[in-house]
Amino acid sequence: MGRREADCAVAATPDDAEDIVAVARGDKPRFEALFARFAPKVKTYLLRLGVAPAAAEELAQETMLNVWRRAHQFDPNLGTGAAWIFTIARNQRIDALRRERHPEALRGQWTIAVTDAPTPEDLFLIREQARRLETALADLSPAQMEVVRRSFLGAGPLSQVARDLDLPLATAKSHLRRAVARLKAALDETS
C-alpha cells in the first residue's frame, strides 16, 4: 500500500464503485450522488465529441438511466466505476453518431453478473487503484497526455489524432502505449 496523502485531491472518484454496487441494490440516494457527480461530466464528454447540446443533455440523462438499469452488471473486480460509466457514455456516443443500436454484448466483460458482493477490503483496493491510476496519468508527459486525451475525448480514430497533432502514427502509438504501460504498472502495484 502506498501513502495516502493524495486522498483529499481525488475525493470525487473513490466512492464510484461503492455507489454503483449500492445502486444495484436499488439505493436511490446513492444514485442521486452518482448523477450529481457524473451526469454533468458525461454531458461535457458528449459536447466535446460534437453532439448537439439538446442531444447531449438527453444522452447524459439516458446514460445515467442506464447506470441505474445495468448497475447489477457492474463487477468492481473488473475495473473502476468511472471506467464502467465511461463505456456506457461511449456507447451512447456511438448510438448518437451512428444512429444504431449498440449491442450490450460489445462490452462482454461487463455483462457477467456479479455473484459475490465486494468486501470492504475489495472496495479499499478499488479506491487505491483509482488513486494510483490518477497519479499515473498525472505523471504522463504533456505530449503523451494529449494523445490519450484526444484519442478518448476527440471525435476521431488514432490515425486522425496523429494527423491533427502533426505526429507520425508511430509516435502517437508509442505515446499511447507508454500511457497504458503506466496504467498497467499502477494496477499491478496493488495486486
Site for other proteins in 88-127 (CB under 8 A): 89-91, 93-94, 98-106, 108-109
Decide: is 152 part of the binding site for other proteins (CB under 8 A). yes
Q: Which of 75, 80, 125, 126 contacts other proteins by CB under 8 A?
A: 80
For residue 87, what is its C-alpha cell?
463505456
Phi then psi for 156, rounded to 5 degrees? -120, 170
Q: Which of 20, 59, 82, 125 contacts other proteins by CB under 8 A?
A: 82
Q: How many CB atoms within 10 Å of residue 153?
A: 11
Please identify, using beta-carbon distances, which residue of 118 and 174 lies nearer to other proteins. Answer: 174
CA distances 142 to 25, 139, 147, 163, 182, Å, are 41, 9, 9, 17, 14
3-state helix, strand, coil in the chain (%, to 5): 75, 0, 25
Burial class (CB in 10 A: 0-12, 13-18, 19+), 59: buried
To other proteins, the closest distance from the beta carbon of 4 in angstroms equals 18
To other proteins, the closest distance from the beta carbon of 39 in angstroms equals 6
Decide: is 45 part of the binding site for other proteins (CB under 8 A). yes
Question: Which residues in 157-176 contact other proteins (CB under 8 A)?
Answer: 157-160, 169, 173, 176
Q: Which of 6, 36, 52, 143 contacts other proteins by CB under 8 A?
A: 36
Burial class (CB in 10 A: 0-12, 13-18, 19+), 43: buried
Contact segment (CB under 8 A) with other proteins among 1-9, 116-124, 143-151 equals: 143-151
Question: Which residues in 49-68 contact other proteins (CB under 8 A)?
Answer: 56-57, 60-61, 64-65, 68
Decide: is 44 part of the binding site for other proteins (CB under 8 A). yes
